[in-house]
């Protein structure tokens, strides 16, 4: 069987060693031209991908021998699930691997890091010192997390991890989830999303994207937030109406935002210089954008890639 790894950069050696024993293991190289890329893909029985490739119906037409897609991610918006289902292609991912994912804290840690960056201006203060040779602490005066209320939308694995870290900072936690969630007694459930939004100093989005909640945070939601509130999204860009977020920032309806995701990342990221949020962030200090780095820590990626490699081999042994 031919396994083609679309994104081998910094790939786990233990995972690649394991896969090389069982497959004809092929990597897509940065030097591959388009013809070479599609030649490799057309012979693949298994495709391994992170988030940098859109596995669309057109992609699947060219990958005519494909039987399995392995992706060390919890979200699957980069894959056309309907087309895969029609072709009988199996998708192996980290979705639903609750016990294993308790070890993967990178995205939760980034969420807290973005909150700190928003209110303490660490990067900008550093830049002011090393580029302007300035030592002006009052220019970067911030606020504390301690004593502030964090509203978490979606109290699943990541929401719970974020809440545990935030509690250690002395924050008060409220949350909203459409499911009944058993959580820390220090976390208070809100009966409606609006209740959470109107009452929180920080709002962190951790909902799974589905057909029913696209743009669940839009003008109506931004309008009820405190003018002093900060909004953080490390989930999926499609959950937020980006034009409404931009307007909320421009009009100072909220104090600031930090996002690790944008809508349609695989397409839009090729033309970031024209993205309205990127252009706004270039000229304003109340928006931070990072390129979906939540899960992109060396140790987390090593652990998840080896776990998924074992899951792939177990699946093949069982079928």
> What is the full DSSP assignment across 135-196?
--GGGG----STTPEEEEE--SHHHHHHHHHHHHTT-EEEEE-SS-----TTEEEPSSHHHH
| β partners of residue 151 | 174, 203
Measured distance CA(94)–CA(183) in Å, rounded: 22
| Mean pLDDT confidence for 47-76 | 95
For residue 105, name the pLDDT band (cuts at 50, 70, 90). Answer: very high
What pLDDT, in 10s, does the model give residues 114-169? 999 999 999 999 999 999 999 999 999 999 999 999 999 999 999 999 999 999 99
CA distance linking residue 175 with residue 189, whole number of Å: 5
Over residues 74-85, mean pLDDT: 94
Residue with tokens 């509130």: 229
Instruction: Report the C-alpha gap between 260 and 287 in whole angstroms.
Output: 11
pLDDT tens, 281-308? 999 999 999 999 999 999 999 999 999 9
- Cα separations (Å) of 117 from 49, 123, 186, 289? 31, 7, 25, 11
Residue 75 pLDDT:
87
Question: What's residue 286's pLDDT?
Answer: 97
Question: Residue 229 corresponds to which tokens in the numbers above?
Answer: 């509130």
Gap between the Cα atoms of 290 and 128, Å rounded: 20
- What DSSP string describes 224-282? HS-TT-EEEE-S-GGGB-HHHHHHHHHTTSSSEEEES--TTHHHHGGGGGG-HHHHHHH
Per the CB < 8 A criterion, the answer to whether 253 and 223 are in contact is yes
Query: The pTM is what?
Result: 0.90
pLDDT at 45 over 80: yes
Question: Residue 141 corresponds to which tokens in the numbers above?
Answer: 């005066």
Three-state secondary structure call for residue 52: coil
Give the end-to-end CA distance of the chain in Å, rounded to a whole number.
Answer: 14
């Amino acid at each position: 069987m031919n396994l083609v790894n679309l994104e081998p950069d910094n790939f786990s050696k233990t995972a690649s060693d394991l896969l090389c024993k069982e497959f004809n293991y092929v990597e897509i190289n940065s030097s591959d031209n388009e013809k070479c890329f599609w030649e490799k893909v057309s012979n693949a029985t298994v495709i391994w991908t992170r988030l940098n490739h859109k596995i669309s119906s057109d992609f699947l037409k060219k990958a005519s021998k494909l039987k399995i897609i392995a992706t060390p991610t919890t979200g699957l918006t980069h894959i056309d699930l309907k087309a895969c289902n029609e072709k009988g292609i199996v998708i192996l991912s980290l979705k639903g691997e609750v016990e294993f994912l308790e070890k993967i804290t990178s995205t939760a840690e980034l969420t807290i890091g973005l909150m700190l960056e928003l209110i303490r201006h660490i990067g900008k203060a550093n830049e002011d010192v090393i580029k302007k040779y300035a030592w002006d602490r009052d220019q970067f005066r911030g606020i504390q997390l301690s004593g502030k209320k964090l509203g978490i939308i979606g109290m699943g694995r990541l929401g719970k991890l974020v809440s545990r870290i935030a509690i250690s900072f002395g924050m008060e936690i409220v949350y909203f989830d459409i499911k009944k969630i058993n959580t820390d007694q220090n976390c208070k459930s809100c009966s409606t999303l609006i209740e959470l939004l109107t009452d929180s100093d920080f709002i962190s989005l951790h909902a799974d994207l589905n057909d029913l909640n696209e743009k669940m945070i839009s003008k109506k939601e931004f309008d009820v937030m405190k003018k002093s509130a900060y909004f953080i999204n490390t989930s999926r860009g499609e959950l937020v109406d980006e034009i409404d977020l931009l307007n909320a920032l421009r009009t100072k309806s909220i104090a600031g935002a930090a996002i690790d995701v944008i809508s349609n990342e695989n397409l839009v990221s090729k033309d970031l210089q024209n993205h309205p949020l990127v252009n706004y962030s270039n000229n304003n200090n109340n928006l931070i954008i990072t390129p979906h780095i939540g899960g992109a820590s060396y140790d987390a990626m090593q652990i998840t890639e080896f776990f998924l490699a074992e899951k792939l081999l177990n699946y093949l042994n069982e079928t």
